[in-house]
Amino acid sequence: MDDPRVRMNPAARGAVAGLALLAAGVAASYALPDRLFALGQVVAWLVAAAGLTVLVGLSGQLSLGQAGFMATGAYAAALTQNALYAAGFTVAPPAGTSGRFAAAAGPTAAGWTLPVALLAGVAAAAAVGALLGLAAVRMRGAYLAGATLVFGLIVTPVTVLVDALGGEQGLRVHVPRAPDPVGSAVGEGRFRVWVALVGAALVLAILTAVVRGRWGRDLRAARDDEAAAALVGIPVARVRLGAFVASAATAGLGGGLYVYLTGTALPGYFGLTTSLFLLVAVVIGGAGRLVGAVGGTLFVVAVPIVTTEVMSAVDASPALQARLAGNAPLALLGLCLVLVTLATPGGWSARLGRGPRRVRIGWGRADQGRSGRLDLGRPRAGRRGDRGRGGTGARPPIPDVRE
Amino acid sequence: MARFIFLTIDGLATGAVYATFALSLVLIWRAARIVNFAQGAISVAAADVAWSVGSRVGGWWLGLLLAPLVGALLGVLMQRFTVRRLGPERHLDAIIVAIGVAMVVQAVLGMVFGLQYRPLPAPVSQTVLTVGGVPTLSPYKLLVLGAVALLVVGLALLFSRTAVGLRLRASALAPEVSRLLGVEVERMTTLAWGLATGVGAFAAMLVLPTGPGLHPTAMDGVFITAFTAAVLGGLDSPVGAVVGGFAVGLVLNYVTGYTDEPNLAPVALLGLLLAVLLVRPNGIFAGPTIRRA
Amino acid sequence: MAALLSVRGVGAGYRGVPVLRDVSFDVAPGSVVAVLGPNGAGKTTLLRTLSGLLPLTAGTVRFDGQDLATVPVARRVRLGLAHVPEGRGVVEELTVAENLRLGGLWRRDRADVARAITQVYELFEPLARRRGQPAHQLSGGERQMLALGRALVARPRLLMLDEPSLGLAPKVVAQLMAVLSALRSSTGLAILLVEQNVRSALSIADTAVVMALGEVVAVRPADQVRADDTLRRAWWGSW
């Protein structure tokens, strides 16, 4: 669109991205048959990470509560699923399966209840995202980060306060099982990962197409220079809200998929650590890059697995090993967060900007010549920059009056 | 009525801790335009180290003296090796770096001390005293109030009367002009960080005996509460931080006290935070003054 | 007599955009040099470069023989180089007294700082009256006094002023120039004065450095510039 080297139209690009993810995921599910759970986690998380990377990288809004939206979607999906099950929309159980999903007696939910439940999750998360977003769009920087942090932290208390949500023990969810011929051929676990992959591929396809189109351009313009964007007619607040809601919606889907994969809804799945790990995934992959979100999520899920393996090889008492292994991922990922952020001078534009005509993604001030040239042919208006309500970054030598 | 009095007095005592921690956040905000999301983790680390010493010799009192020193050191290290490298404009990156630091600090604490809560015993009784049939404060909370009062007075004197205080304020208000006047602004910024994290550690030593104890995440709740308090008072205003701290302490106490539901606290906090950010985003004490370069 | 400030071939700019090019001139001790030129000539950039706020891209700046290239901004005032920036740089949230104190904080001789502050109050009576008030309550002329007084507390040898007459009434400007001239006579203070108000600047200056588009176009004795019509019209039309 801006880059003459891009030949494919956005929709085609999206389709390619989605299909690529599907193919890679299916291949991985055969290549790593013992890691199906981890794979599932990657898929569920990457949906949330994709939305988050758009929010953080392209819209410049830092959210520390993505897991809170995952929880919203998860519990909405769980309750819907259970409600549909209780209402009798069931089918006879498929023939016995193995492993984690060993057959339980009784009917299982009908297959079509799953998309309905997932959609309910997405809708709930989007609704909550809209509510929070209405407040969020007026906030910048630290204020937004703090507010989303607090939002993410109410998940566990709310599940305790509202009886229907099952408290810290969580909810058992009657998710549909793989239908007969497919289920026994492929395995319940693998089937669920594939279903999740379809959802993720869809999200990735849509996001890929959309960020290369007008919406993506508006997002970046609003991020780089609000005043100029407004002058050009971009409805800045609405664009920011849209990004916030979209990010919440994807997280909602991710949460719903997680419930489907595990058959339970637990507040512990959606705590602060999850929000932080998602942020690490986004930062490591490069904020704003969807491909990076996929890679980053892989990395973030892989690290705990790798550290556990490494630690078990170390000769130490089991208690010490547990302590080291349990905390090592957090330490490593935190370190990555610090180092990656420090290593990119002026934000990500230095890493991502390739070629003179490409719209550069990154944050930092537009008039510093580092990031985001507005390709809208407009002179740059007075820059406000990323700032909390209380102040601003460096100013021009002319004193200017605050609002 | 007795319940109200008790909740009020107790809320003020808890609020005193939030006020202190909120002050530490405001200090850094004024100096560097950053909210230090690692403040909670650093303060726990300082308390952990201080108590490792204090549990062996000197008790809580030594811990109270040691914690601010350790906290200041950690803050200075963090500022010099991470935040300073970012430069003054990358505000969101500074938040992300702070989060990374917090993750590392909490993980290291988990590795060294484990993930069980380790009680931090108070130096005096925590049983609530009854005055004329009305439950008021425990001796410990009285001590906390006294300590906070001393700290606030000390800081006020530091900033208004001393040369260092003047340099700190000038560096925060007008860094470029201050440089022209011979003030070493970089050094002052580092000092402000150290002072702030020291104050945060002080708050940690005061509040941890009233809870389940030492744990890598033990100060996370105080952090978000103090953040809300600081936003309520206005991130630029130290007075606002103190008032906000007491206000939030009271509100949370009333909410959890009357409903008997401690889990409502974070929800109430979110509501309060959103309300402030929607209605008066600059805080209650936002001044009319303009900040210059 | 060796120059107090020696500027040779100085170049500077903002983020790769060059603003100053090959600027050279001297300031003799105890003299007043006016830097004149239209908007955008680079006068403010020049002062910011001399005080170190902006790095040099070319040339040298020597103060009292010492190359300033390695001297950080906060150290330059200790050498005797004071800069009153554009807009005056009065710290509004601090009181008048605190602003003045700030000017002398780096000095070890506290007694002399106290003396200097007293002298400033004597020189600028409105400041004495308002010493406990926050600086944002001051008028434009009073702020200029405060900024000037604050610089004087450091007992500088060279005072650099960026458009001190900006926004001030003519009478106040005249008083300001008189004060500057008196300071030069009584203390031997050298002054580098950037001004849009050509007439006022030339009334006290010994030398005029005329700039346009980032370059020095002429360095002449002030009375020559005052008297020469063609020079004036070439660069400013008329005044």
Partner-chain contact B174 C91, CB within 8 Å: yes
Domain boundaries, chain A: 10-94+106-271
When comparing pLDDT for C91 and B287, which is higher?
C91
Of the candidates B178, B147, B149, the residue with the CA atom closest to the CA atom of residue B164: B178
The verdict on residue B287 lying in a domain is no
Tell me how close the Cα of C99 comes to any Cα of chain A, in angstroms: 18
More confident of the two residues A339 and C17? A339
Chain C's closest residue to A370, CA to CA, is C15
Residues B39-49: tens digit of each pLDDT: 999 999 999 99
What per-residue confidence (pLDDT) applies to A4?
56
In A314-401, which residue ranges form alpha helices assigned H by DSSP? 318-343, 349-352
Report the complex ipTM: 0.92
Picking from B206, B178, B224, B173, the residue whose alpha carbon sits closest to that of residue B61 is B206
What's the pLDDT score for residue A363?
Answer: 38
8 Å CB contact of B180 and C75 = no
Which residues in chain A have their CB less than 8 angstroms from residue C45's CB? none
pLDDT (average), residues C72-78: 93
Q: How far apart are CA A224 and CA A233, in angstroms?
A: 15
Contact B290 A402 (CB under 8 A): yes
Write the pLDDT tens digit of every residue in A31-48: 888 888 889 999 999 999
- Whether residue A42 contacts residue A91, with contact meaning beta carbons closer than 8 Å, is answered with no
A135 and B265: CB-CB below 8 Å?
Answer: no
Residue B268, in any domain of the structure: yes
% of residues, chain B, pLDDT over 90: 72
Residue B293 has pLDDT above 80, yes or no: no
Please give the residue that has the higher pLDDT: either A157 or A370.
A157
Is B290 among the domain residues?
no
Provide the residue range defining the domain that includes B146: 2-279
Band of the pLDDT at A94, cuts 50, 70, 90?
A: low
Alpha carbon of residue C208 to chain centroid? 14
Q: Where are the alpha helices (DSSP H) in A179-235?
A: 180-186, 188-211, 214-224, 226-231
Structural domains in chain B (count): 1
> Which pLDDT score is estimated for C226?
78
Segment A386-397, tens digit of pLDDT: 333 333 334 333
Residue of chain A whose alpha carbon sits nearest to that of C88: A399
Q: Nearest-CA residue of chain C relative to B289? A: C93
Mean pLDDT of chain B: 91
Long-range contacts of A369-374 (CB under 8 A, 24+ apart): A369/C15, A369/C16, A370/A346, A371/A224, A371/A346, A371/A347, A372/A220, A372/A221, A372/A223, A372/A224, A372/A225, A374/A221, A374/A224, A374/A225, A374/A228, A374/A229
CB contact under 8 A, A398 and C87: yes
Q: Is A327 in CB contact (< 8 Å) with chain B?
A: yes
How much is the average pLDDT of C57-84?
Answer: 93
Please give the model's pTM, rounded to 2 decimal places.
0.86
Predicted local distance difference test score (pLDDT) of residue A130: 94
Q: Is A326 on the interface with C (CB under 8 A)?
A: no
Burial, C3: exposed, middle or buried (Cβ in 10 Å; 0-12, 13-18, 19+)? middle
Mean pLDDT of B234-253: 93
Tell me, yes or no, if A368 comes closer than 8 A to chain C by beta carbon: yes
Q: State how far residue B82 is from chain C, nearest Cα, in angstroms.
A: 22
Question: Mind telling me how many Å the CA of A169 is from chain C's nearest CA?
Answer: 54
Say yes or no to pLDDT of A366 above 50.
no
The overall average pLDDT reported for chain C is 89
Model pLDDT, residue A101: 52
CA angle C222, C154, C138 (to 5 degrees): 80
B292 inside domain: no
Q: What is the pLDDT of residues B108-163, one digit of tens each?
A: 999 999 889 999 999 988 888 887 777 788 899 999 999 999 999 999 999 999 99
Neighbors of chain C by Cβ distance (3+ pairs < 8 Å): A, B
- Going by their DSSP bridges, the two strands C190-195 and B134-135 should be labelled as unpaired
pLDDT digits (tens, 9 = 90+) for A119-140: 999 999 999 999 998 888 878 7
CATH value at residue B203: 1.10.3470
Chain A residues touching B261 at Cβ < 8 A: 161
Three-state DSSP state, C81: strand
CB A17 within 8 A of CB A290: yes
All domains in chain C, ordered by first residue: 5-90+155-236 (3.40.50.300)
Would an 8 Å CB–CB cutoff place A395 in contact with chain B? yes
Mean pLDDT of A359-386: 38
- The verdict on a CB contact (< 8 Å) between A397 and C87 is yes
Candidate from A352-356, B124-128, B193-197 with smallest mean pLDDT: A352-356
Q: Which of B150, B181, B151, B176 minimizes the C-alpha distance to B163?
A: B181
**What average pLDDT does range C155-178 have in this prediction?**
91
Residue to mutate among B171, B177, B188, B189, with most C CBs inside 10 A, is B177
What is the residue whose two structure tokens read 């808890």? B14
Partners of residue C192 on adjacent β-strands: C33, C160
What confidence score (pLDDT) does residue C14 get? 84
Q: Is residue B291 part of a domain?
A: no
Distance from CA of B108 to the nearest CA of C (A): 38
In a domain, B180, yes or no: yes
Residue B83 lies in a domain: yes
Cα Dmax for chain B: 62
- Integer-rounded Cα Rg, in Å, for chain A is 22
B246 pLDDT above the threshold of 70: yes
Q: What's residue A377's pLDDT? A: 34
Lowest mean pLDDT among A27-31, B104-108, C65-69: A27-31
B292/C87 CB distance under 8 A: yes
